[in-house]
């Protein structure tokens, strides 16, 4: 499953007639989000990679790697510059992943639930935007975002299945992480 089943994006995308500012924001922020997700899972694997939950984290990370690869392709195809905040997301993502994993399996899974819920909600908002713009014109991008949204929902559910809600101070942890996600989305769309 995951993004790997999607065909590669052609390197030539017709930019004529697209709403370039909207597409730039979508691709820039999604690239940043997938980059950050990769760093979160890298941090979790650094702490929990050899534990019983390591293979589960690795499976989710592999899907995130596919997502990032696709957004790297889309950035080239649509000629979108990345956010200047990537160096910050590099460190912040790893610290969030490792820090949540230091709370144990439940902490790592609480982080996963919080992040993946935020991202799937964000993807739903983008799907609505593109549907309002022109579902036919953005058919390929819609297909990609819908697939990735479904993958993120699956990761969310895996986190719940692995006792995320039993993490220490789960609701506080989840709320704090989701506020961070909202800030990251806001900034990455614009900067």
pLDDT of 8 strictly over 70? no
CA 55 to chain centre: 19
- DSSP letter string over 140-163? HHHHHHHHHHHHHHHHHHHHHHTT
Strands (DSSP E) found in the chain: none
Query: pLDDT (tens digit, 9 = 90+) per residue, 24-47?
Result: 999 999 999 999 999 999 999 999
Q: Which two tokens stand for residue 3?
A: 């993004």
Position 93 pLDDT exceeds 70:
yes
What's this model's pTM, rounded to 2 decimal places?
Answer: 0.92
Output the six-digit token pair for 167.
């993490």
Q: How many CB atoms lie within 10 A of CB 139?
A: 11
Largest CA distance in the chain: 51
Q: How many CA atoms lie within 13 A of 113 on its CB side?
A: 24
Across the range 150-165, mean pLDDT stands at 98
Q: Is the model's pLDDT at 81 over the cut of 80?
A: yes
Check residue 15 and give its pLDDT.
78
What value does the mean pLDDT of the chain take? 94
For 191, the token pair is 């900067």
- Of the CATH numbers 1.10.3210, 3.40.50, 1.20.1260, 3.30.530, which one belongs to the domain with range 20-189? 1.20.1260
Q: What's the pLDDT at 11?
A: 52
Q: In the predicted model, is pLDDT for residue 125 greater than 50?
A: yes
């Amino acid at each position: 499953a995951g993004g790997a089943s999607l065909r590669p994006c052609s390197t030539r995308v017709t930019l004529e007639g697209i709403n370039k500012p909207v597409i730039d924001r979508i691709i820039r922020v999604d690239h940043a989000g997938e980059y950050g997700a990769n760093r979160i899972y890298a941090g979790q694997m650094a702490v929990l990679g050899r534990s019983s939950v390591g293979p589960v984290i690795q499976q989710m990370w592999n899907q995130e790697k596919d997502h990032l690869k696709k957004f790297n392709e889309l950035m080239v195809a649509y000629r979108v510059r990345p956010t200047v905040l990537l160096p910050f997301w590099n460190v912040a993502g790893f610290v969030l992943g490792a820090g949540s994993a230091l709370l144990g399996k439940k902490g790592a899974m609480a982080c996963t639930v919080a992040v993946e819920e935020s991202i799937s909600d964000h993807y739903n908002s983008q799907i609505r935007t593109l549907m309002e713009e022109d579902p036919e014109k953005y058919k390929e991008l819609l297909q990609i975002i819908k697939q990735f949204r479904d993958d993120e929902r699956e990761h969310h559910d895996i986190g719940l299945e692995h006792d995320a809600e039993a993490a220490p101070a789960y609701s506080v942890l989840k709320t704090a992480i989701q506020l961070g996600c909202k800030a990251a989305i806001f900034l990455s769309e614009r900067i």
